[in-house]
């Protein structure tokens, strides 16, 4: 029951995302009366849930690498702080991005708990915030030019054009809803993934649905409810000025939005790019509001650049800076209150230990571990304490901190092959992996990486697949390892 209370803030976040973002997929269609609100809301609701459940994994992983909020009370507080930030900023009419507020919230959690922030992931996310709207503007500009040139040549009747535009708005709106669900479910439920409160759910014994999928389904449902209950109000107020464009321009905007969301969401595209030896596009939760604003500007420029209100743009850009900062600060304050006033665990208490073995691993990973020799054998409880101890020795960059936390994390694992081989949802083990794992039955490992290394030494099938392989394989491998940690972890 307590799980429901904790994830309620995630559901609230989902609801507010649905209410605020329905306008980005069906805003122009509904405000121009091309599509009825009820039709739009039902289509958007169904496709958002589908997108969240079917393709919601990619962007979530990026968020969890940024910071794994690993205690339910922590998730609750972060989601609450972010949700309230969004509600407040919407109230004072500042354009707000759920993605940015969520990232701000996670960084706030990292700062409060002393957990390291993966600066590489953070820089990738921040870069896409700039690239997303820019790409949308470019796509919308090009698409608008092409569409007008084609229409000029085709001499299409206004009613035929109307029928095509209507169908296009509905089709691309559905696609955009699917991608919104897939891309933004990470914002809503991403932070609950490391602390997933549900077990696997069996559907009539035929199909087993993982806890994460259940979480995504609930998040998708919350977004859909947001669209149905409050989407109309937002469409007729907030969306009115921003999306007062012709239905055809609206179609171009949604098309550009679909393209950009697809680029930053699709794991299939990523696999194809890898296969072709091309650089991949990071799978990051984007702000659909910003993407749409970028696309509207693109269409405006294609029409000659007149009518673009630069003061409004300045205000929007200001919102992009303010949102993560406000969310981060409010999250920090909320965590302080929840931890100290309500005495709830906002971060899973982890222990860290420095041993010669750990130092050797740190050296392997390119860190000068000699100064840490003074900590040999010392066990430090709590991430904040560990960070303070490390900082007392010498200053470390966030990148080095990520490695230090990973190597020193005391996560005792006892290999129990009976448990591992009798899972309700069987582990996807190859025969070699099965054999080599069986040989370790009863063995104990102090850190996750020590188990990884032991297995890799025993059989090459346990070595991490190279980055040149499709990400799907790499992710499947990492997920398998995560499941093993879960099964073998000793809970104190």
DSSP string over 242-279: HT-S-HHHHHHHHHHHHHHHHHTT-HHHHHHHHHTTPP
For other proteins, which is the closer residue by CB, 251 or 367? 251
* Contact pick of 159, 343, 418, 492 for other proteins (by CB under 8 A): 159
Stretch that binds other proteins, among 38-46, 155-163, 376-384, 454-462 (CB under 8 A): 155-163
* Contact pick of 123, 127, 160, 423 for other proteins (by CB under 8 A): 160
Q: What distances in angstroms separate CA 129 from CA 192, 291, 487, one per listed residue?
A: 23, 9, 37
* Contact pick of 16, 20, 32, 184 for other proteins (by CB under 8 A): 32
Stretch that binds other proteins, among 27-35, 39-47, 83-91, 109-117 (CB under 8 A): 27-35
* Contact pick of 1, 91, 92, 158 for other proteins (by CB under 8 A): 158
> Is residue 148 helix, strand or coil?
helix
Backbone torsions φ then ψ of 413, nearest 5 degrees: -120, 130
- Least distance between other proteins and beta carbon 241 (Å): 16
* Contact pick of 123, 127, 167, 423 for other proteins (by CB under 8 A): 167
Q: Does 385 bind other proteins (CB under 8 A)?
A: no
- Least distance between other proteins and beta carbon 134 (Å): 25
Stretch that binds other proteins, among 98-106, 160-168, 261-269, 325-333 (CB under 8 A): 160-168
Q: Does 236 bind other proteins (CB under 8 A)?
A: no
235 vs 132: CA distance, rounded Å:
22
User: Which x/- pattern, by CB under 8 A, does the window 112-151 give for other proteins?
Assistant: ----------------------------------------
Q: Does 246 bind other proteins (CB under 8 A)?
A: yes
305 vs 291: CA distance, rounded Å:
18
Stretch that binds other proteins, among 88-96, 156-164, 258-266, 390-398 (CB under 8 A): 156-164
Q: Does 156 bind other proteins (CB under 8 A)?
A: yes
* Contact pick of 157, 392, 424, 491 for other proteins (by CB under 8 A): 157
For other proteins, which is the closer residue by CB, 185 or 296? 296
Stretch that binds other proteins, among 85-93, 158-166, 279-287, 480-488 (CB under 8 A): 158-166
* Contact pick of 163, 272, 312, 313 for other proteins (by CB under 8 A): 163
How are beta strands 444-445 and 201-203 bridged, if at all?
unpaired
403 vs 364: CA distance, rounded Å:
11
Q: Does 18 bind other proteins (CB under 8 A)?
A: no
**Residue 212 and residue 54 in contact, taking contact as beta carbons nearer than 8 Å:** no
Q: Which residues ranging from 282 to 321 are in contact with other proteins (CB under 8 A)?
A: 303
* Contact pick of 162, 200, 411, 416 for other proteins (by CB under 8 A): 162
**Residue 215 and residue 56 in contact, taking contact as beta carbons nearer than 8 Å:** no
Rg of the chain over Cα atoms, rounded to whole angstroms, equals: 24
Q: Does 429 bind other proteins (CB under 8 A)?
A: no
Cα 148 to chain centroid, rounded: 36
For other proteins, which is the closer residue by CB, 307 or 431? 307
Stretch that binds other proteins, among 8-16, 29-37, 352-360, 482-490 (CB under 8 A): 29-37
User: Which residues here bind other proteins, judged by CB under 8 A?
Assistant: 32-34, 36, 152, 155-160, 162-163, 167, 246-247, 303
């Amino acid at each position: 029951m307590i799980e429901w209370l904790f994830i309620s803030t995630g559901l609230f976040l989902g609801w507010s995302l649905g209410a605020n973002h329905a306008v980005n997929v069906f805003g122009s269609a509904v405000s121009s009366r091309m599509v009825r609100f009820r039709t739009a809301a039902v289509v958007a609701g169904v496709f958002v849930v589908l997108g969240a459940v079917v393709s919601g994994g990619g962007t979530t992983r990026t968020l969890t690498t940024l910071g794994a909020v690993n205690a339910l009370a922590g998730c609750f507080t972060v989601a609450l702080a972010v949700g309230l930030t969004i509600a407040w900023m919407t109230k004072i009419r500042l354009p707000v991005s759920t993605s940015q507020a969520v990232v701000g919230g996670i960084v706030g959690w990292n700062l409060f708990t002393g957990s390291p922030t993966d600066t590489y992931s953070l820089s990738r996310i921040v870069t896409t915030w700039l690239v997303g709207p820019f790409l949308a503007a470019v796509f919308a500009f090009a698409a608008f030019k092409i569409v007008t040139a084609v229409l000029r040549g085709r001499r299409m009747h206004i009613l035929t054009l109307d029928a095509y535009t209507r169908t296009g708005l509905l089709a691309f709106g559905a696609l955009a809803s699917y991608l919104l669900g897939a891309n933004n479910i990470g914002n809503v439920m991403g932070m609950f993934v490391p602390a997933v409160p549900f077990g696997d759910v069996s559907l009539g014994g035929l199909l087993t649905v993982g806890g994460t999928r259940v979480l995504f389904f609930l998040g998708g449902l919350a977004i859909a409810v947001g669209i149905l209950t409050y989407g109309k109000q937002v469409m007729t107020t907030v969306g009115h000025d921003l999306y007062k464009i012709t239905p055809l321009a609206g179609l171009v905007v949604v098309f550009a939005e679909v393209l950009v969301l697809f680029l930053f969401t699709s794991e299939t595209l990523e696999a194809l790019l890898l296969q072709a030896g091309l650089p991949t596009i990071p799978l990051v939760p984007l702000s659909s509001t910003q993407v749409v604003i970028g696309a509207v500007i693109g269409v405006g420029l294609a029409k000659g650049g007149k009518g673009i209100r630069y003061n409004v743009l300045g205000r929007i850009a200001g919102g992009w800076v303010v949102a993560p900062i406000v969310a981060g600060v409010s999250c920090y304050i909320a965590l302080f209150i929840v931890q100290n006033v309500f005495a709830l665990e906002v971060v899973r208490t982890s222990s860290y230990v420095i041993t010669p073995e750990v130092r050797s691993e740190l050296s392997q990973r390119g860190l000068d571990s000699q100064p840490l020799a003074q900590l040999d054998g010392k066990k430090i409880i709590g991430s904040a304490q560990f960070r303070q101890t490390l900082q007392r020795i010498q200053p470390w960059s966030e990148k080095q901190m990520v490695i230090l936390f990973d190597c020193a994390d005391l996560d005792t694992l006892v290999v129990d092959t009976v448990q591992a081989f009798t899972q309700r949802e069987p582990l996807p083990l190859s025969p070699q992996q099965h054999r080599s794992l069986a040989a370790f039955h009863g063995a104990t490992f102090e850190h996750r990486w020590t188990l990884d290394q032991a297995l890799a030494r025993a059989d090459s099938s346990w070595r991490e697949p190279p980055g040149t392989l499709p990400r799907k394989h790499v992710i499947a491998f990492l997920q398998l390892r995560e499941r093993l940690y879960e099964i073998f972890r000793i809970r104190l």
